[in-house]
Amino acid sequence: MGSCQSTSSDSAADRSRAIERHLKEDKDASKKEVKILLLGTGETGKSTVLKQMKLIHKIGFTPDEIANFRSALVLNLLSCAKELMNAMDKLKIPYGFDPTQVVSASRQITESSLDQWSTDPSNTSRTNSCDNESFDAPTIRRRTARFAEVASASSELFMSAGGSENRTGEVAAAAAIIRSMDPSMVLSGTTISSKLISSIKLLWRDPGVQYCVSRAAEYQLMDSCPYVMENIDRICCPDFTPTDPDILAARIMTTQIREIRFKVHAHLFCVYDLGGQRSERKKWMAFFDNVKAFIYMVAISSYDQTCFEDSQTNRITESLNLFHSLTHHPALKKTCIILFLNKIDLFKEKMKVSPLVEYFPEYKGLGDYESGALYFERTFRDENPFSERDIYTHFTWATDTSNISRVMENVTMALLRAACENLGLI
C-alpha cells in the first residue's frame, strides 16, 4: 500500500519537473526568437525584400510558388500594356508621337529666352554653386518649359487626329487586339498567342508609348513594366520557368500574411510581411506583441507619385504619416526601428528629370541624389519621439540581391549586438 503511494508521488514529481523543464525550454527559445515585421505603404518593395531573404537564406520556393510567379509575370505584362493604353488616352498622346522632334524644333527659341533670365545677375547665385546634374532655378525653368511644351504639342496632335475614338494605324490596330484579350486565360493556363505577343511588342516600341512611360508619375504604372516588356519572349514561352531575377520582378499584391523563418547564430528570426495597402493595415495590430523590431520601407523614388488608393495623396506623404503613427504607438515604444529607404536605383534616375523641390518645397538641396536621399532620411528620422530609441537607416535597392544581402547582414548583426540588447530586444 505504502509503495503504491510512493510510486504515485514520484510520478507526479516527474511530471512536475518535466513541465518546468518544458516551460524553461520555451522561455529560453522565446528569448532567442527575433520577431520582425515588414511594414510600409503599398508598392514600397516589402514582398521583394521577403523574397530576397528566402534567396539569401537558401529557403527557396515551392513548385506552387514558382507557378504563381510565372502567372503573375504574364498578368503583370498584360496589365502594363493595358495601363499604358489607358494612359495614352488620359494624357492625350497619339501613337507615333516623337517628343524629340518637338524639342529639337523649339529648343533654340526656348533656350534663348530662358538664357536671358539665367544671365541676370540676380538669378545666378545658385547656378554658380551647382554642378551639371543640379536643379538650379534656371535648369528647373528650362526643363519645366520643355516638358509643358511637349505635353501641349502632344495634346494638340491627339485632338486634331480625332482623339481616342479615331486612332488609326498599325499600333492602334495592335492596341485593339490587346484590349480584346481576356486576362482570365492566364489563370486557365492558355498559351499567349504569337499575335498578341507581336501586338504588345509593337505597342512597347512606339515612341508615343515611350513618352507616356516618361510621364508615369501621372498615372499608376508598375515599376517592373520595363523588365516584363523587355523579357516578353521568355515570359510568354510555354515552358517558361522564372529565374531569381524574374521572381524578384513579379508583382503580386499582398492580401495575406506571409512569414519566413531562418536561424542566425542560434537565434531564430521570424519575419512577417504585412500588406501595405490601406485595407490591409487593420491586420497589423495583432502582430505587435513581442515584436523585437520592424523594418519600415519607403520607396523614395515615389516622391512625385500619388497613392494607388486615391490618386490624390502623395506617396511619400502617406508613408510619412503612417510612419508617424507607428513611431508614436505605445506598443512599439521599445521596438527597434530599421528604416529602408528603398528603390534608390529609380530615385537616382528620376532626380535627373523630376525636380524634388517641385513636390517638397522645403527641400533646399542641389537636386542631386545624395542631398535628396539625406533629406528623406532626416525627414523620417525626425518622426522618432523617443531620444533613447535610435533608428537604423539603410539605402536599399530591393531587386539587387548583393545590396539586400549586405544590408540584411548588417541588420541581423545589429539586432544581436548590445545596441538592441539595451532596449531589451534579445
Integer Cα distance of 301 and 373 in angstroms: 10
C-alpha cell at 65: 510558388
- Other beta carbons within 10 angstroms of residue 418's beta carbon come to 8
Active-site residue identified among 142, 167, 251, 315:
251
The catalytically annotated residue of 43, 136, 206, 377 is: 43
277 catalytic per annotation: yes
13 labelled ligand-binding: no
Q: Is 342 labelled as part of a ligand binding site?
A: yes
- Measure the CA dihedral 251/396/57/416, to 10°: -140
Q: Is 239 annotated as a binding residue?
A: no
Pick the closest to residue 319 from 379, 248, 279 (CA basis). 379
* Residue 398, annotated as binding a ligand: yes
Strand, coil or helix: what is 108? helix
243 is in an annotated binding site: no
Q: Is 58 annotated as a binding residue?
A: no
CA neighbor of 42 nearest in space, from 331, 376, 302, 271: 302
CA distance 182 to 80: 14
Is 317 one of the catalytic residues? no
Judged by DSSP in three states, 66 sits in: helix
Is residue 255 left, alpha or beta, with left meaning phi > 0 and alpha meaning psi from -120 to 50?
Answer: alpha
Q: Would residue 379 show up in a list of annotated catalytic residues for this protein? A: no
Q: Would the annotation count 344 as a binding residue?
A: yes
Active-site residue (options: 149, 206, 273, 377) = 273
Please pick, among 277, 317, 379, 401, the residue that the annotation labels catalytic: 277
> Would the annotation count 98 as a binding residue?
no
Alpha-carbon distance of 226 to 345, in angstroms, equals 14
Does 275 carry a binding-site annotation? yes
- Residue 332 makes CB contacts below 8 A (sequence gap 6+) with 288, 291, 294, 326
- The answer to whether 224 is a known ligand-binding residue is yes
Residue 246, annotated ligand binder? no
User: Does the annotation flag 343 for ligand binding?
Assistant: yes
Query: Do the annotations mark residue 43 as ligand-binding?
Result: yes
Max CA separation in the chain (angstroms): 113
Residue among 156, 41, 49 at smallest CA distance from 406: 49
Active site residue 48: yes
Asked if residue 189 belongs to a known ligand binding site, the reply is no
Residue 249 is assigned to a ligand binding site: yes
Query: For the chain, first and last CA: distance in Å?
Result: 51
Confirm whether residue 46 is marked as ligand binding. Answer: yes
Contact status, residue 232 vs residue 202, Cβ threshold 8 Å: no
273 is in an annotated binding site: yes
Question: Which segments are annotated as binding site for GTP?
Answer: 43-48, 223-224, 248-254, 273-277, 342-345, 398
Question: Which segments are annotated as binding site for Mg(2+)?
Answer: 47, 254
Catalytic residues: 43, 48, 251, 273, 277
Question: Which segments are annotated as binding site?
Answer: 43-48, 223-224, 248-254, 273-277, 342-345, 398
